[in-house]
Structure 1
Amino acid sequence: MRILVTLIAITLGLWVHEVRADPADWASEFPKTDFGETSVQQWSEILSGGPGRDGIPALSDPAFIKVADETRLGAREPVLTVELPGTKPRAYPLRYLTWHEIVNDRVGGVPIAVTFCPLCNSGMVFDRRVAGQTLSFGVTGKLRNSDMVMYDHQTESWWQQAIGEGIVGQHTGVQLKQLPAWMESWAEFAARNPQGLVMNQPKARRSYGQNPYTGYDSRNRPYPFFTGENPPHGVPALARVLRVGDRAWPVSRLAKAGEIREAGLTIRWAAGQASALDTVQIAKGRDVGTIRVKDAKGRDVPHDLLFAFAFHAFWPDGKWMMGN
């Protein structure tokens, strides 16, 4: 196990330190962070994932190209799609998000943070405006329940990606507004949006298109950054679940049904999207399908597709939509 984690760290250009959070040690790294303000009950909940501050470099103001000009992506490769009213749809390929985890962008005047935590498979898009101020985000290098802890450059408050909430510093307890976004295949995005835009390859030197977490979503347990409970109802720890609010639908149930109408939502599953956390080449990952979530008026609903262990960790009293 330790050898596997070390190999992943080396692939990412990092070294894993099994060091638990200690504000006294991190004050020099985050001099503006107010560690006296926190919603974290015990600092031992937070672990160092290996890199320090910005060891995984977030991106800002990325370049985009037209759909017709994109030649790198495989048809089934996953992208995180943002389609805000009155703007050209944008696709953010997971081949880039896997290595950078955060993209600070602006779409139609709306400052957004496009985020992806590979260890939780959590891909979410947030409005970066808080109390009249536009924040920009970076990666702390810390993990809580295996989920990325972000920080904002303005106050150096720490934010939990999976719940979009400030957990340390000035913005403790503040909730970021989650925007509708979803994972789908490049082919699906391109067919629906021939005039759309796709994020261009960053200039950083990374093995874009390769998955540094080979076989991760077939494991029985997450990497040892996570020490919490297994999910209930016999749901495998690394099974994907659809989260809307505090409800979780196992994707295996959605794939079997194809379409489910529950809790005021219409949820559809269709084959055709590769897992970003399966094979070495992301484009060749096994088919995990695409999910769309609409409300009663046909509008896209903010949601997430994360691993079951992460849902149970952050929503221990959440409702499991098992269909029984």
Structure 2
Amino acid sequence: MVYSRIINRKELTFGHAGRTLRNAIVFYDTATNSFWSQFVGEAVQGDYTGTSLVLIPSMITTWEKWKKEYPNTVAMKTNEITMMQEMMQNMNKSYYASSTTMMGEFVEDVRLSAKEFVLGYAHGSVAKAYSIKNLVKNKIYNEVLNEIPILVGYHLPTNSSKIFDRFVMGKELTFEYAGPDEDGIEIVIDVETGSSWRLLDGLAIEGTLKGSTLQILPSHLSYWFAWTDHYPNTDLN
């Protein structure tokens, strides 16, 4: 997850607090030492308690696939791996390969296995998770959550999933999956105008709305147990 560090026009600097909350990392800001939940981006202790960071849309994919789509990207790289970092990498590999959670589930929800990946979206009091396995099969969903029309899509070439706002230029669009183009980019077509859109970034590449872009909405790619720990009343698709 990626958050803006700006709160009330003030830029904050964060560090790892060395603890977890509901199976998620806790970090602190150096200005007030308030504790923040990494999963929901909200301060849970200190002067900023109840304040939320703005979630910025991001994508989890491989470096190879990212570089292919964005060749001029700037990458952050460390020159060497310390013994502690190597130990943490090995621990993470073991964790990802196992069926166990870090601290156990706070909310046991048997609709999915605990460590099945889901794409989650929360807006106001409404939360919904989309099984990545189902999303890979179905490609896209046209949904309305908390009165917001959304497009949920899975882009196979980058193994990434995104949620877009379907409201464009004063019109609610409905999408159908059209398959990959000659470059392997997954394409969807809106029923209303017949315009073609890239699932990678929501850009219209052909048709009446060519050049328009669907707004990417902030979402969470997480384990099912982590999502339900924070959103116990979530819907599931």
Under a length normalisation based on structure 1, what TM-score does the superposition of the two structures give?
0.52
Give, as a single letter, the amino acid of the residue that structure 1 aligns with 2:9. G
Higher RCO (CA-CA < 8 Å; seq separation 6+)? 1
Q: Paired residues, what number? A: 181
Residue 188 of structure 1: how far off its partner (Å):
2.4
Residues 1:214 and 2:93 aligned together: yes
**Where is the strand percentage greater, Structure 1 or Structure 2?**
2
| Number of the residue aligned with 1:94 | none
Q: 1:293 aligns with which of 159, 163, 181?
A: 163
Which residue number in structure 2 is paired with residue 176 of structure 1? 53
What value does the CA root-mean-square deviation take over the aligned residues? 2.2
Once the two structures are TM-superposed, the CA of residue 210 in structure 1 deviates from its matched residue by 4.7
Q: Which residue of 2 aligns with 1:268?
A: 153
CA distance in 1, matches of 2:18, 2:6: 23
Aligned counterpart for 1:302 among listed residues 201, 218, 227: 218
Q: Which position in structure 2 is the counterpart of 1:153?
A: 30
Answer whether contact 1:267 1:291 (CA < 8 A) is retained. yes
Percent identical among aligned pairs is: 22
> Residue 164 of structure 1 corresponds to which residue in structure 2?
41
CA-CA distance at 1:215 after TM superposition: 4.2
SS in 2 for 1:148: strand
1:316 is aligned to 2:193: no
The 2-side partners of 1:185 and 1:237 are apart by 24
| AA aligned opposite 2:152 | I
- Partner of 2:226: helix, strand, or coil? helix
Query: 1:163 Cα deviation (Å)?
Result: 0.5
Structure 1 stretches of 5 or more lacking a match? 1-123, 274-288
Deviation per residue, 1:229-287 (Å, 9 max, x gap): 32242x010111101112111111101112222222222223456xxxxxxxxxxxxxx
Cα deviations by residue, 1:128-150 (Å, 9 ceiling, x for unpaired):
11122211110111111111011
Q: 1:313 to 1:210 in 2, by over 3 A?
A: closer
What's the secondary structure of 1:252's corresponding residue? helix
* Partner Cα separation in structure 2 for residue 191 and residue 293 of structure 1: 22
Q: Secondary structure at the match of 2:114?
A: coil
Deviation at 1:293, TM superposition (A): 2.3
- Specify the SS of the correspondent of 2:101: coil
Cα gap change, 1:169/1:209 in structure 2, threshold over 3 Å: closer, same or farther? closer
Using a 3 Å threshold, how does the CA distance of structure 1 residues 293 and 270 change in structure 2: closer, same or farther? same
